[in-house]
Amino acid sequence: MPDVLTRILGASLSMGAGDGPRVPGCLASHYAPDTPLLLMEMAHIEAAAQSLLNLGQAVAVLSMHAPAINQVGCRWLMMPVDPQEYGQVLYARLREVDTWGCRCVLVQLPSAIMAWEAVRDRLQRAAGGRQDGRACA
């Protein structure tokens, strides 16, 4: 196949290790929002959000539970409880949060059961894309 492409293109193709196509969904980080993102269990979200608010930091929360904090500076966004629906709206919600000017976004980590595996992977990639070392606090 490379010989055919070389004849058609009039140039040789070189594909060494690491020169292959980059598929965004296969990268270690995929759609990492500008706003630092922390994944945590629901039991810790309220305390973490309150700590940031006490420091005068605006915070966003993506959770499948009703808002635990009704305070200026905290924007709580309800996420679907169905894994497929969650996956369909995730990146749009992360882009929306990026427009809010919050110091960080706290995301409830979904259950570790098989049905949520793809969503958890997307969230971990979004959280893992931080290259500038920014933390939420």
Q: Which 8-state DSSP code applies to residue 61?
A: E
Q: What is the pLDDT of residues 77-89, one digit of tens each?
A: 999 999 999 999 9
| Residue 111 counted as domain residue | yes
Does the pLDDT at position 126 exceed 60? yes
| Number of domains composing the chain | 1
| Residue 91 counted as domain residue | yes
Question: Given this model, what pLDDT does residue 137 score?
Answer: 60
CA distances, 39 to each of 27, 110, 124 (Å)? 19, 9, 8
Does the pLDDT at position 30 exceed 50? yes
| Residue 100 counted as domain residue | yes
Question: Given this model, what pLDDT does residue 1 score?
Answer: 58
The boundaries of the domain holding residue 109 are: 33-128
Place of tokens 């979200």: 45
Q: What is the pLDDT of residues 56-76, one digit of tens each?
A: 999 999 999 999 889 999 999
Instruction: For residue 118, give every residue at least 6 positions away whose Cβ sits within 8 Å of its Cβ, in sequence order, or none.
Output: 83, 87
Mean pLDDT for the stretch of residues 13-18: 52
Q: Report the mean per-residue pLDDT for the chain.
A: 82
- CA torsion 47-96-33-43 (nearest 10°) is 20
| Residue 8 counted as domain residue | no
SS3 89: helix
Domain with 41 in it: what CATH number? 3.40.50.11030
User: What's the pTM value of the predicted model, to 2 decimals?
Assistant: 0.74
Taking the CB of residue 35, how many other CB atoms lie within 10 A of it?
21
| Residue 137 counted as domain residue | no
